[in-house]
Amino acid sequence: MTPWFLLFGGLVVVGALGAMALRNPVHCGLSLVVTFVGLAGTYLDLGADFLGLAQILVYVGAVAILLVFVMLLTRTGRGESPEVRPGGWWWGGLVAALVAVGLVGALASVSGWKPRSEPMTFPTVRDLGVALMTDFVLPLQLVGVVLTAAMIGAAILALPERRGGRVGRTPKGEEPEQ
Amino acid sequence: MAANVDQIFVHLMQMMVDRVPDAVAPWVRAAVGVGAVLGLFGLLFGLTTVCERKGIARMQNRLGPNRVGPFGFLQFAADGIKSLTKEDVVPRSADRVVHYLAPLALLTPVVLTFLVLPFGRNMVLMHVDTGLLFFFAAGASTELAVFMAGWSSRNKYSLLGAMRAIAQMISYELPFILSTVGVVMIAGTLSTVGIVESQAARPGEWLARWNLFTPWGLAAFLLFLIAAFAEANRSPFDLPEGESEIVAGYFIEYSGFKFALFFMAEYLGMFASSGMAVTLFLGGWTAPVAALDWIPSWLWFFGKLLALIALFIWVRGTTPRLRMDQLMDFAWKFMLPLALLILPVVAVWHYLGGGWRGWLFCTPVLAAAYVLLGRALVGRRRIQRRVYRYAGEGVAS
Amino acid sequence: MNPAQPYLFLAAALFIIGMAGALARRNAILALVGIELMLNAANLSFVAFWRHGPHPDPQTGLMFALFSIAIAGAEAAVGLALIIALFRHRRSVSLEAAESLKG
Amino acid sequence: MHAIATHIWLIPLLPLLAAGVVALLPKRASTAAIGLATGSMGLALVLSLAAFLATLGGHADGAAHATHIGNFDWFRLGTGSVRLGFLLDPLGAVMLVMVSFVGLLIFIFSIGYMAHDPNRTRFFCFLALFASAMLGVVVANSLLLLFACWEVMGVASYLLIGFWYHKPSAAVAAKKAFLVTRIGDIGLFLGMLWMYHATGTLLFFDDGRGCLEADALTQLGGTAVRGGLTAATGIALLLLVGAIGKSGQVPLHVWLPDAMEGPTPVSALIHAATMVAAGVFLVARVFPLMTGGVDTPVGEGTSVALQAVAGVGALTAVFAACLAVAQQDIKRILAYSTVSQLGYMFLGLGTGGVAVGMFHLITHAFFKALLFLGAGSVIHGCHEQQDIRWMGGLRRLMPVTYATYAVGMMALAGVPLFFSGFWSKDEILHAAWSWAPSRWPFVLGVVGAFLTAFYMTRQMAEVFFGQYRGGVRPHVGHGIPEATHGGTAGGVHESPGVMTVPLVLLAGSTLVLGWLGTPAWPWFEAYLNGHSAHLDFGRLAAAWPMMLVSVVVVALGIGTGWWVYGRRSRVGATAPDPLESQFPRIFRGLQARLYVDELYDATVVRLHHVVSMVCGWMDELVLGGLVTLVGLGSRLAAFSARSLDELLVNLGFDAGCASTRWGGRGFSWLQNGSAQRYLGGLGLGLATLAILVLWGWRHG
């Protein structure tokens, strides 16, 4: 347990708690960013440089921005009242506690962990690229397909709908009726 | 001798680190490095503001600052003192915590981007395998700070400005990143140092191998530069801050030192982008021709950097602001396809091994794409000389 | 205690926090945030196992996490698009607004 | 020799590239599209001829099988890899030449036929795509590649049938063709999976490791599955289902006549010459598998799969011929005749082996393309009129079309000596006669031959003889102004040269091709088997009784046809058919295609409706109803309890009642549409699982 782990782990936990418990959704989103940064730090600490930076690039640079942007678009910035379902924490907490019992129990009962026999070799970015283009080329292509489908799907979902079910851009000066 | 001058800063740093205990050596190295960068670029920031004001004034037939110090060059010091001493006004309805954190959240990643810029031979603060990725990861984080500033002010202009800025930054981030991929493909590394070294002249060659000297490199450089203008929210992409439309964009409600921080972060971001452009396309600290190798590497880097900054100022002084839809169209319908096209072109270039065959293939392809995309963007509208019509002229015709 | 265990406990904590939030919040965006947290917890454990696991495989764990990040990006985009579509119909992003789809 | 064998993949690639480029062209660039598509097809023909010559050279120097294969890794998955390959052998080479030659002629014909269609560009794109897929099927050395091309072909056929998609009937026909052939494709797909499972490869030939080579066949033939069948038989039957679907055999023949809604060149290309032949080709390609995995002598035909092939073929031959007798649409008659002739091919494959079936395939492709293009020319001349009752007397108005059509008709009917259809059909009948398991296919074949001669005579008489009866009814053509035709002949005109030249070329080949497979000089069979042929009139002598039989049958058919239709030509378009007045019920039944479509509507489609209704109902029941039912049940229990309560004890049960009701509500609470509840359920499940595993781990 390095000091870095304590620092970043603390960021992760505090950020996650904030993301889930703060009243204002925008604060939650910003708190989520803290979690992401903490996670990226943890990855760097673990020696996964590329992954850590990718985490920042994807989550902080894209996902979090997208989240807050959607919050602005849907005008939830002020927060709805009440922000939590009636009995929500009770219910969520119960389920989460049960899961926690399971997970922590499983983790705590681990025994007979064999330490790594040979020293760790950290793959360079070039190694990762070569692996992506050889052993993992099929998953890579699949991810490409999934991302393309998601992009098109998201664009279509978010396009304004017109009467008669046709999806498309509304002509200028003609706002969709709500 | 030349080698000593070239490495003078490296030696200085080494001397300093040698004098402290080993345990704190890395910390000292980091602190001195960051301090030097902050000091140097802080100073550059100040001088740039003055130069910009004076330069633009000259373009607009004005005088510009000319009172403080010799030829007004100490104006930035006066401005700095003023902003430090001004009252820090926070709107009552603002979200205080976020409002306070926003300038810091903007400045921190911008400063981080300087860590991976190689200022000269052996002069990079953080020599990592993933330098370019680090640069973009840090750069991507700035959007969040913009959002924080705009949202927390509880001002509709600042919110509008933030949304404009985010939309613009996300749109231009794609060509910004994609235009560099070609360089990575040729250099075979994400390390900024490796990229610079791959552009140096090989022994026996008289011309350096700058990426700018290839057809795709030129195209990618222009794309990168345009995207950098947009990322820096500078004219002609200064919609997020358009004074005449939304007062000052996302930092309307900032005053005093926080405002100065925003201002500084913007300029530092511009320097970082320029530095990255130098690193990626202009050969970093390498000399353009082998005969000029005796000039210290850091001089080359800063010379190129200053040239690019001058270009930034020049563009700001001479271009009108785009409209929002033009801005988006330009990013998605012109820059993104062109940036994507550059990738296969680079692959073919690599496959052909450059040379005249590479030129023969790449130049027409890129030129054709440029012409076709441009025509598609402009559409049926014919570009013609602007006709001015004045009130009182005939309404008919 | 083996070296991976702190990271795994951290991942478990992240997962549980995310799950509790996803179950409790009314706001659909925040439920999505909770799910993102759970995904990130899974990623963290991938990386922890990659680094400290007994099986000396240089890349697979990283690759798994990398692909997971990519898929999570797609998931966030589609989820948020859905929320926008929901908002357009109901003028609200409360999950209760989407409860009319019941058997 | 080797140059073409190793570059055989160019042949399908060229039309594919043309299709790709044409797809990107704007609509107005139709000239470029036509040039590209036709040019690529011409190049493909040249390459095919080169390939053909290469295989000819192959057995001149004494090689047993002039087969060239080129396999490559498509992609690697884990440790295994999926391999594809290309193949050039006599069977494929002759198909290549046929497909590209007929295809090229049809492309040229289309230039004239589609000259007025505004969507020519799209049309040629589809045509080229189709041709590419068909050529791909021919050169594929892997069942997987064959299947892929097969499916592309299906898509292209769908697009072409529905080319005039603004006509509802065309759109429906396209959908029907697609769905019905899909049923067959499921069989093919399952067969393919089984094959991969059993042999671990999908390559046909792979230096002894392919699935059509001795090792795999012995293994497949030796693997018994239930019912006394071997794996080879099972796979062969499944592949046969695919072939049946594509080749329009009974019971999946219903799509083919409807497919005539497409433009006539499409009918000629797809539904006469090439695509429907793909089923036959598939059976021929996997013939070693069809024989049951063991080398039975050709003609014995003892394997179950071959018996099925022969049975299906014989049945289809007669069935479709019957239907053809009563059709009024010139293209539909040809369509049913195609189905019937395909049945002959299957019969030939099943009883006589590859050479017999393939010979008929090749000759049929030429004369049926000829007939279809002739029909197209007639239709084009008659202003998109397709009903033979509204034609007549075209002999004088369209002399070239008439002459070439007559050649095609006589070839199809099997008029002796000079027409290719005679020789190929005769071989099939001969093989059927000497087939050991049963005499029925032969009898059915003879009946079919009679019917074929009969309905073709009918068609000739109706279309080309008598008086022109059209020009009265308003036409439902596309884009032909009403004013262009007037006068007694209704403006009927001979088609332009670009359409008649292919007709003449096809007629010429029809006359020549027959000589390649006479019993006296069985060059074709020898070529496929890699021998060289010898001229021997003795074999002709041995075959003459059969030839006599078929001559008599054909003469009888043509005679009857002429007696019924030719003696007195039809007076007016609305007059009833002579057969109709004689046997009204049978004729109407035949006209309505023996109600097969209605049967399918009443059974398969209805069943499908019922099944989907049941599914929908089950869905409601399980997802919604069940919960409500539980609630209702508990309420019912509660209600009865309360009644009892009120009636008998009037106290004490209230609490029980309430709790039961609460239970019912509890069940329906599970299904409340709240995503978070569902997520919570997931979480609870996960927790339970984790705890159970943990428990088992501790105590297990």
Contacts within 8 Å (CB) and 24+ apart, D488-492: D489/D393, D489/D397, D490/D382, D490/D383, D491/D383, D492/D381, D492/D382, D492/D394, D492/D397, D492/D398, D492/D468
pLDDT for the residue D657: 64
Sequential DSSP letters for A102-171:
HHHHHHHT---PPPPSS---PPPHHHHHHHHHTTTHHHHHHHHHHHHHHHHHHHHHHSPB-GGG-BSPPP
Q: Tell me whether residues B147 and A65 touch, CB distance under 8 A.
A: yes
Minimum distance, in Å, between the CA of residue A174 and any CA atom of chain D:
31
Residues of chain A in contact with residue D688, where contact means CB-CB under 8 angstroms, are 98, 102
Q: Read off the tokens for D118.
A: 């505004």
Higher pLDDT, D532 or B213: B213
Sequential DSSP letters for D249-315:
-TTSTTHHHHGGGS-HHHHHIIIIISHHHHHHHHHHHTHHHHTTSS-PPTTT--SHHHHHHHHHHHH
pLDDT single digits (tens) D144-174: 889 999 999 888 888 888 888 888 888 888 8
Give the whole-angstrom CA distance, residue C16 versus residue A82.
23
Q: Tell me whether residues C16 and A103 touch, CB distance under 8 A.
A: yes
Average pLDDT value for residue range D511-530: 75
Residues A68 and A134 in one domain: no
In a domain, residue A32? The reply is yes
In a domain, residue A167? The reply is no
The phi and psi torsions of D80 (rounded to 5 degrees) equal: -85, 170
Confidence of residue B123 (pLDDT cuts 50, 70, 90): confident
Q: Tell me whether residues C15 and A103 touch, CB distance under 8 A.
A: yes
A70 in Cβ contact with C84 (< 8 Å): yes
Mean pLDDT split into 10-residue runs, chain A, 178 residues: 86 90 84 91 87 89 85 65 65 82 78 67 83 85 90 82 51 42
A82 in Cβ contact with C12 (< 8 Å): no
B–D contact (≥3 CB pairs within 8 Å)?
no
Average pLDDT value for residue range D84-107: 86
Higher pLDDT, C93 or B117: B117
With a pLDDT cut of 90, the percent of chain C lying above it is 14
Residues of chain A in contact with residue B136, where contact means CB-CB under 8 angstroms, are 57, 61
How many separate domains does chain A show? 2
Size of interface A-B (CB pairs under 8 A): 65
| CA A150 to each of CA A145, B233, B248, C74, D421: distance values in angstroms, whole numbers, following the listed order | 8, 30, 36, 6, 56
Q: Which of C79, B231, B158 is nearest to A70 (CA)?
A: C79
Region of poorest pLDDT, from B44-48, B55-59, D546-550? D546-550
In a domain, residue A81? The reply is no
Q: Tell me whether residues D690 and A109 touch, CB distance under 8 A.
A: no
pLDDT for the residue A13: 92
pLDDT for D247 beyond 60: yes
The 3-state DSSP class for residue A39 equals helix
In a domain, residue A63? The reply is yes
Instruction: Look at the pTM and tell me if it is higher than 0.80.
Output: no
pLDDT single digits (tens) D467-503: 777 654 444 444 444 434 444 445 677 777 778 888 8
Domain coverage including residue A133: 124-161
- DSSP-H helix ranges across chain B: 2-6, 8-18, 25-59, 75-85, 96-113, 131-152, 156-187, 192-198, 215-231, 243-246, 256-281, 297-318, 324-329, 336-352, 355-378
* Cβ-based neighbours of D121, under 8 Å, separated by 6 or more: D22, D25, D26, D27, D28, D29, D30, D33
The phi and psi torsions of D651 (rounded to 5 degrees) equal: -160, 160
pLDDT for D640 beyond 60: yes
Give the whole-angstrom CA distance, residue D280 versus residue D358.
8
Assess B159–A contact: CB distance below 8 Å, yes or no: yes
Give the whole-angstrom CA distance, residue B208 versus residue B213.
9
In a domain, residue A15? The reply is yes
D397 in Cβ contact with D465 (< 8 Å): no
Any idea how long chain A is? 178
Give the whole-angstrom CA distance, residue A144 versus residue A132.
12
CATH of the domain at A35: 1.20.120.1200
Which of A55-59, D508-512, D681-685 is most confident? A55-59
Confidence of residue D662 (pLDDT cuts 50, 70, 90): confident
Residues of chain A in contact with residue C3, where contact means CB-CB under 8 angstroms, are 115
- DSSP-H helix ranges across D382-492: 394-397, 399-413, 420-433, 440-464
Tell me how far the alpha carbon of residue D119 is from its chain's centroid.
26
Q: What angle do CA D106, D380, D565 make, to 5 degrees?
A: 105
Packing angle of the helix pair D304-325, D440-464 (nearest 10 deg):
30
pLDDT for the residue A162: 63
pLDDT single digits (tens) D413-460: 888 777 788 888 888 888 888 887 778 888 888 888 888 888 888 888
pLDDT for the residue D329: 83
In a domain, residue A108? The reply is no
Give the whole-angstrom CA distance, residue D491 versus residue A170.
50
Assess A99–C contact: CB distance below 8 Å, yes or no: yes
A–C contact (≥3 CB pairs within 8 Å)?
yes
Q: What angle do CA B87, B92, B96 make, to 5 degrees?
A: 80
Assess A21–C contact: CB distance below 8 Å, yes or no: yes
pLDDT for the residue C24: 82
Provide the residue type at A148 as one letter. Answer: T
D54 in Cβ contact with D72 (< 8 Å): no
Confidence of residue B244 (pLDDT cuts 50, 70, 90): low
pLDDT for the residue D475: 44
| CA B302 to each of CA B282, B285, D79, D302: distance values in angstroms, whole numbers, following the listed order | 12, 8, 53, 89
Sequential DSSP letters for D460-482:
HHHHHSS----SSSPP--SS--G
Last-in-domain residue among A39, A74, A109: A74
Average pLDDT value for residue range D246-259: 81
pLDDT for the residue D476: 43
Q: Tell me whether residues D676 and C99 touch, CB distance under 8 A.
A: no
Sequential DSSP letters for D530-572:
T------HHHHHHHHHHHHHHHHHHHHHHHHHIIIIISS--SS
Last-in-domain residue among A46, A74, A102: A74
Restricting to A residues 159-178, those with a Cβ less than 8 Å away from any Cβ of C are 160-161, 178
pLDDT for the residue D482: 40
Average pLDDT value for residue range D583-595: 66
In a domain, residue A115? The reply is no
Confidence of residue D594 (pLDDT cuts 50, 70, 90): low
pLDDT single digits (tens) B96-113: 888 888 888 888 888 888
pLDDT for B125 beyond 50: yes
Among C22, C23, C99, beta carbon nearest to D672: C99
pLDDT for the residue B253: 78
Among D671, D679, D680, beta carbon nearest to C102: D671
pLDDT for the residue A14: 92
Domain coverage including residue C49: 5-97
In a domain, residue C34? The reply is yes
For testing the chain B interface, which of A26, A28, A30, A59 should be mutated: the one with the most B CBs within 10 Å?
A30
Secondary structure letter of residue A60 according to DSSP: I
pLDDT for B389 beyond 70: no
D101 in Cβ contact with D45 (< 8 Å): yes
For testing the chain C interface, which of D620, D623, D679 should be mutated: the one with the most C CBs within 10 Å?
D679
Q: Give the chain A residue nearest C42 (alpha carbons).
A: A39
Residues A70 and A1 in one domain: yes
CATH of the domain at C79: 1.10.287.3510
Q: What angle do CA D470, D474, D476 make, to 5 degrees?
A: 105
Average pLDDT, chain B: 84
Assess C94–A contact: CB distance below 8 Å, yes or no: yes
How many separate domains does chain C show? 1
pLDDT for the residue D700: 60
Give the whole-angstrom CA distance, residue D260 versus residue D161.
7
Q: Which of B285, B307, B65 is nearest to B193 (CA)?
A: B285
pLDDT for the residue A39: 92
pLDDT for the residue B224: 92
Average pLDDT, chain D: 78
Which of A29-33, D179-183, D643-647 is most confident? A29-33
Q: Tell me whether residues A125 and B129 touch, CB distance under 8 A.
A: yes
pLDDT single digits (tens) D361-414: 888 888 888 888 888 888 878 777 777 777 777 777 888 888 888 888 888 888
In a domain, residue A139? The reply is yes
Give the whole-angstrom CA distance, residue D88 versus residue D12.
13
Packing angle of the helix pair B256-281, B297-318 (nearest 10 deg):
120
pLDDT for the residue D170: 86
Average pLDDT value for residue range B283-309: 86
> Dihedral through CA B377, CA B380, CA B383, CA B386, nearest 10?
-120
D–A contact (≥3 CB pairs within 8 Å)?
yes
Which of B160-164, D337-341, D483-487, D606-610 is most confident? D337-341
